[in-house]
Amino acid sequence: MKKHILLLIISLFFLRCSDNQNSNKNPYIPNYSFSVDLNLNLPLYSNLKSPGNGIYYSNAGAKGIIVFNTGTGYNAFDAACPNQEISSCSTMTIKGINALCVCDNKEYNLFTGQGSTAVTYPMKQYRVQVVSDTQIRIYN
CA distances from 9 to 1, 5, 19, 20 (A): 13, 6, 20, 22
* DSSP strands (E only) in the chain: 35-39, 54-57, 65-69, 74-78, 93-95, 98-101, 106-109, 125-132, 135-139
Mean pLDDT of 125-138: 95
End-to-end Cα distance, the chain: 46
Q: Which of 12-16, 51-55, 102-106 has the lowest mean pLDDT?
A: 12-16
Mean pLDDT of 97-112: 93
Q: How far apart are CA 129 and CA 18, in angstroms?
A: 22
pLDDT over 70 at 14, yes or no: no
Instruction: Render 108-137 in DSSP notation, one character per residue.
Output: EETTT--BSS--S--PPEEEEEEEETTEEE
Q: Which of 13-17, 80-84, 95-99, 119-123 has the lowest mean pLDDT?
A: 13-17
Domain spanning 25-139: CATH 3.65.10.10: no
| pLDDT attached to residue 59 | 93
Residue 19 pLDDT grade (very low, low, confident, very high; cuts 50, 70, 90): very low
Answer for the pair 122, 111: CB distance below 8 angstroms, yes or no: no
Mean pLDDT of 61-80: 95
Return the domain boundaries, the chain: 25-139
User: Mean pLDDT of all residues in the chain?
Assistant: 86
Mean pLDDT of 38-50: 94
